[in-house]
Amino acid sequence: MIKNNIKKLSVIALSLVALSFVGCGNKSEAKKADEPYGKQMNYKITGIDAGSGVVQASEKAVKDYKLDYNVQTSSGAAMTQALSDAIKKKEPIVLTGWSPHWMFSKYDLKYLKDPKKSFGGAEHIDTIARKGLKKDLPDAYKALDQFHWTPKDSEAVMLKINAGGDAKKIARQWITDNKATVSKWTEGTKKGNGKEVKLAYVSWDTEIASTNVIGLVLEDMGYKVKLTQVDAGPMWAAVASGDSDAIVSAWLPGTHAKYMADYKGKVEDLGPNLEGAKIGLVVPSYMKIDSIEDLAK
Ligand code: PBE
């Protein structure tokens, strides 16, 4: 008897729960939001290109934290599109993130804590020149060596490019607005006299911004500048073989450690052009997890 009443009560309670889900709108969506994050995301980390250090570090994190996840590779543009879609629906998403990046200004995001240090620590972005550049093009080399800006500068350029601007036009505007900074980069240099400078870069937002800015500065010095967009591996190979004169996209000491080791002695590291960079797994702040460890739950 008592058992039966309990049964009846639970049927009523269940119907009420079901009704309230209907009230929330789409039945299946309400059910989905109740599922663990991993299941909702199909156990997927939304990544960028396979050659990037952040994707390689994410694969390491999957192993280090014994996660049942796949790192799905795509491109920076596809990743941020997926982020925008998820945010519109308030759905969970995990990204292979990095800073500086415009997405932190546009959305409310957080890095997941990384107690096992799969993503390393603080990073800087270095300028790397081909061997012999100093001798062949000393003034271009000097400007590249003196190129140095802040995460805030980089983010300002990135944000405007992301808002739909032409990268070169936005770089030009930034140079016009930051004459004092730029004049430090060109200090003590002579004119380029139409000689060619070849820069390679990957279509990562940070690198689109930096390469366009320094490219225009070299152009203003009188060089004929050629920017070539390639994948990460070919970019490093190009500066090591001398096909490219320089890159301003070397994330060290961790993110590009493998590339740096592969080309040790074959390139010249001119030191940081930006300090205070970082990589890691990034999620919208509305997700109720704080650490990569929480993804395993
Ligand atoms: N990034 C941006 C690159 C370096 C620049 C963090 C996406 C990477 O190799 O992961």
What are the pLDDT digits (tens) for 25-36? 444 555 578 899
Residue 202 CA: nearest ligand 1 atom is 5
The structural domains of the chain, with segments of one domain joined by +, span 37-121+281-296, 123-277
How far does CA 165 lie from the centroid of its chain? 19
pLDDT tens string 173-189? 999 999 999 999 999 99
CA 98 – CA 124 distance, rounded (Å): 12
Please indicate, yes or no, whether the overall pTM of this predicted structure exceeds 0.85. yes
- The domain defined by 123-277 carries CATH number 3.40.50.300: no
Per-residue burial over 224-247, b if 16 or more Cβ lie within 10 Å, else e, is ebebeebebeebbbbbbeeebbbb
Q: Residue 31: what pLDDT?
A: 57
Residue 56 CA: nearest ligand 1 atom is 10
- The domain defined by 37-121+281-296 carries CATH number 3.70.10.10: no
**E strand segments, 156-266:** 196-201, 224-229, 246-252
What are the backbone angles phi and psi of residue 80, rounded to the nearest 5°? Answer: -75, -25
Q: Is 22 a residue whose pLDDT tops 50?
A: no
- Tell me, in angstroms, the distance from the centre of ligand 1 to residue 53's CA: 6
How far does CA 9 lie from the centroid of its chain? 53
CA 192 – CA 283 distance, rounded (Å): 45
Query: What kind and span of H or E run contains 268?
Result: strand 267-284
